Amino acid sequence: MKLAKSIAALPILLTVGSGCSDSYEPLPEPDFRLPDLVSSITSEYFDEEYIYDDENRIAKWISSSSSLNQKVSCVYEYPDDNTITMDLSEQVFFEPDTYLRHFDVSLTLDNEGKITVADGIFNYTKNDLLMLRKKYRHEFEYDDSGHLVSIKCTEWMANRDGWDMDHPWQWVNTLTWDGDNLIRYEDYNGSSKPQYISEYSYSGIPVAKHKPNVFPTIISGYIPLQLTGRFGKQSEGEVMGRTVTNSNGNRSHNEYAYEFTKTAAGPIISRFWEYRDNGFEIEYRVKWLKSR
């Protein structure tokens, strides 16, 4: 596995000479803030772009993959201080067909800005023909430290009268933390037993304050919201390994390595690698922005 490398940013030296005039313009104060907003993540297979509004809130997220023939687009709006709306479209192209998963979601926030409830409508179409329609709710529970510890999922199928509210489909996903690191995520995926169990290992000492990769991913449109703290605290350490076990006992394992760039405010992750146990390797390049 590649070891994480360190790249020192070249300092910019400013010199001020004395001139003939008695007046001068003071130099602007140096900006020692840490870049804290992901601008883009690119690789050979995936490209992601993050767009923010003037209040540093995620406004739009675009993810595309030409090799997988898919495109994801999500628009976020903030009608009031306690609500975020999310319009998520996931398109997959298999000639001659186009498949679309569409989520229309309203997210409710607590007083600290964390998401507590997501109410959504899900439509699945093939060539604009509706194949499946669901109403769903995700309820998020946090511990006293601000860590997400459970996600209660409820779904209702469509019927002739609207929704079959008398027959909800429910399950609860659980998250286990060791200090400030997530170590286990149990995804029941509509069953009475976990269908996927993800276990995470970490570096001994955290290096970068902000991480470009989030675990776990519940639905794709939640990724930018997780990065900006809308689902509570993210893991403090860099994830070095992830093992996923399905209900049949089959396992897959990924390992991760990071490259850090020094800034005046501290190190940032400029690249990271994902190594899969099937020999597949992906290098991701990260660009950052500073909050306004």
Is residue 5 included in any domain, yes or no? Answer: no
Q: Which residues are 178's β-sheet partners?
A: 181
Is residue 14 included in any domain, yes or no? Answer: no
Compute CA distances 243 → 25, 183, 199, whole Å.
57, 10, 5
Show the CA angle centred on residue 278, arms to residues 277 and 280, nearest 5°: 95
| Euclidean distance between CA atoms 59 and 222, whole angstroms | 12
Number of domains in the chain: 1
Q: How far from the centroid of its chain's Cα atoms is residue 160's Cα?
A: 36
Is residue 91 included in any domain, yes or no? Answer: yes
186 in Cβ contact with 205 (< 8 Å): no
Residue type present at position 255: E
Return the pLDDT at 218.
84
Structure tokens that stand for 250 in this block:
């089959």
What is the length of the chain? 292
Identify which of 43, 101, 39 has the alpha carbon closest to the alpha carbon of residue 227. 39
pLDDT per residue as tens, the chain (292 positions): 344 433 233 232 332 333 444 556 665 555 557 788 999 999 999 999 999 999 999 999 999 998 889 999 999 999 999 999 999 999 999 989 999 999 999 999 999 999 999 999 999 999 999 999 999 999 999 999 999 999 999 999 999 889 999 999 999 999 999 999 999 999 999 999 999 999 999 988 899 999 999 888 889 999 999 999 999 999 999 999 999 999 999 999 999 999 999 988 889 999 999 999 999 999 999 999 988 8
**Which pTM does this prediction carry?**
0.86
DSSP-assigned letters across all residues of 197-257 = EEEEEE-SS---SS-S--S--SSGGGHHHHHTTTTSPPPSSPEEEEEEEETTS-EEEEEEE
Is residue 7 included in any domain, yes or no? Answer: no
Return the pLDDT at 235.
95
Helix (H) / strand (E) element for 186: namely strand 181-187
Domain, as residue range, for 250: 41-289
- What's 200's domain CATH number? 2.40.160
Is residue 9 included in any domain, yes or no? Answer: no
Residue type present at position 182: L
| Euclidean distance between CA atoms 171 and 155, whole angstroms | 9
Which own/partner contact pairs does 23-29 have at CB distance under 8 Å and 24+ positions apart? none
Is residue 36 included in any domain, yes or no? Answer: no
Output the CA torsion 64→70→73→74 (10° steps): -110
| Euclidean distance between CA atoms 264 and 156, whole angstroms | 51
Is residue 75 included in any domain, yes or no? Answer: yes
| Euclidean distance between CA atoms 266 and 250, whole angstroms | 40
Is residue 15 included in any domain, yes or no? Answer: no
3-state DSSP call for residue 110? coil
Backbone angles phi, psi at 226, to 5 degrees: -65, -40
